[in-house]
């Protein structure tokens, strides 16, 4: 699994004019599922992100996690994180998991964050989404497991 984690002041997902996710301070997580990913990897990545200390403490240092601050998360499924651009100009997505595998794993990841008590909203798997955010810092972390 791959994740691009962005610390935000606000994050929103809109689908066909309908807002499906809307948070203040927290994390926007773009999540890609690859070939061979499973629930164990999903749970491990969710735990790592829940405990990721990239939120500021009173001294302005990145020392706190979502668990420490009670911040929210938005999870957006994004198979394009598995784009292979080594050959030619058109990306290949053969390393991305097919939807019948990826969709349940994205759901599992979201369930794991919620199990930690993190208020988590989502986009919609396979939908064309408009993702708006105000990156705070900016802080953007790329993760893989």
Give every CB contact of residue 30 below 8 A, 6+ residues apart in sequence.
3, 4, 6, 76, 78, 81, 131
- Cα–Cα nearest to 118, from 77, 71, 82: 71
Q: Is 78 annotated in the active site?
A: yes
Mean pLDDT of all residues in 4-17: 98
**CATH architecture designation of domain 2-144:** 3-Layer(bba) Sandwich (3.50)
Alpha-carbon distance of 7 to 19, in angstroms, equals 20
Of the residues 35, 51, 69, 80, only one is catalytic, namely: 80
- Residues 77-96 have pLDDT tens digits of 999 999 999 999 999 999 99
Measured between alpha carbons, how far is residue 39 from residues 102, 110, 126 in Å? 10, 11, 20
What does the block give as tokens for 76? 């957006």
Specify the DSSP element, H or E, that contains 31: strand 26-32
Q: Is 80 annotated in the active site?
A: yes
Question: Would you list the domain boundaries of the chain?
Answer: 2-144
Instruction: Report whether pLDDT(145) > 90.
Output: no
Instruction: Report whether pLDDT(136) > 90.
Output: yes
pLDDT of residue 71: 95
């Amino acid at each position: 699994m791959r994740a691009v984690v962005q610390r935000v002041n606000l994050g929103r997902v809109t689908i066909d004019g309908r807002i499906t996710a809307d948070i203040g301070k927290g994390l926007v997580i773009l999540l890609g599922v690859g070939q061979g990913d499973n629930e164990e990897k999903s749970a491990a990545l969710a735990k790592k992100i829940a405990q990721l200390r990239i939120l500021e403490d009173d001294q302005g240092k990145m020392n706190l996690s979502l668990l420490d601050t009670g911040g929210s998360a938005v999870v957006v499924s994004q198979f394009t994180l598995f784009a292979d651009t080594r050959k030619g100009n058109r990306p290949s997505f053969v390393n991305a998991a097919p939807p019948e595998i990826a969709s349940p794993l994205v759901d599992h990841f979201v369930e794991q964050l919620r199990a930690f008590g993190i208020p988590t909203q989502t986009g919609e798997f396979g939908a064309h989404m408009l993702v708006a955010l105000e990156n705070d810092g900016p802080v953007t972390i790329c993760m893989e497991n």
